[in-house]
Structure 1
């Protein structure tokens, strides 16, 4: 479905650009965006290598286990289908911690790692699990204890004046998101039929 959306956007931009006589601008924007995408991808590789390495060191040193024990009551309630000692849990805990501290670039590779590990627990690879949806919601609406420096710079204000409003706003968004996920997951429309689940278990 997403491929159709992107194709539609590209087709519309080309058609509108041709009608308005700005097809050269469309071509130039496409080339410029391609260069930006390559630069971003290469930069992300370095960040992912750094933080996945740090996560591995943290796991070996027992730091991840210590953090997981502290937040275990919350994570067990949020992700009941994920074993507490599973690598997905540690990646999610670190991702949420990075987001809370405003380290968006650091949280990205940890979020990708968490989704990869959650996919290993997914009996239906073509369908997102409740844990995946919950994690995506928390990752998107994460509580922020420290506002990212880029946001502070754009707004041109002292970060201290945004501390309380940031916590309140992001807490409300996270609570609303998690509540929506939990409620929607209980609706029959979003439940995986029991027959499919049984067939998947038999195929294993």
Structure 2
């Protein structure tokens, strides 16, 4: 991948020199870098806030109450996980972070959920069906309110940054249901 970026960057420099746009090319590089840093700091703020909320939810025990609300859905999807296993809470936190469109904050929660699911794995180094289900659910990530996208659109002064809420909700629900149906269909075929 580094080679691809090097080739693209080199071609861009050569093209800028031959067309006489080296100054504009240099300016756009610095503007792009500035924009990348601003967006990164913005997303870092969102992730920090969500991780703080997650820590408060865990320390207060509220996560177990939230997990209890999600338990019927989680239990139907993850039938081989004991009801009191810590992976249920980790999966619930990940689903909640994805629900609110905080994919970057969901990543560490997803890693924790996979680690917890691995404790139930009898054959270490192989993936269980529950792990596959979680990967599909996490990747599809149903988003009720995509805070990150709304924040980025707002930072670029979009006219209606919240206009993406309904289309994102519909697209993520359809993709999640489709992915889960395919996964469960393959499970029945391969049994």
TM-score by length of 1: 0.64
Partner deviation per Cα, 1:148-182 (whole Å, 9 max, x = no partner): 23553579452332221111111101111111111
Pick from 167, 170, 175 the counterpart of residue 168 of structure 1.
170
> Deviation per CA, 1:64-106, whole angstroms, max 9, x where unpaired?
1111111111011010111122111101101110111111221
Equivalent runs, 1:1-204 vs 2, <5 Å: 13=3, 51=51, 55=54, 57-147=56-146, 148=148, 149=150, 152=153, 156-188=158-190
CA RMSD of aligned residues (A): 3.2
**Counterparts in 2 of 1:54 and 1:116: CA distance versus 1, 3 Å:** farther
SS of residue in 1 equivalent to 2:66: helix
SS in structure 1 of the partner of residue 144 of structure 2? coil
Task: Provide Cα deviations, 1:22-76, integer angstroms capped at 9, x if missing partner.
Answer: 6xx9xxxxxxxxxxxxxx9xxx9xx69x83x764553342211111111111011
Deviation of 1:112 after TM superposition, in Å, equals 0.6
Report SS of the residue matched to 1:161.
helix
1:116-145: CA deviation from partner (whole Å, max 9, x where unpaired): 111111112222111111111111111111
SS at match of 1:77: helix
Q: Runs in 1 of length 4+ with deviation above 6 angstroms?
A: none
Greater Cα shift, 56-65 or 116-125:
56-65
CA distance in 2 between partners of 1:157 and 1:79 (Å): 41
- Equivalents in 2 of 1:116, 1:187: separation in Å? 28
CA distance in 2, matches of 1:70, 1:177: 23
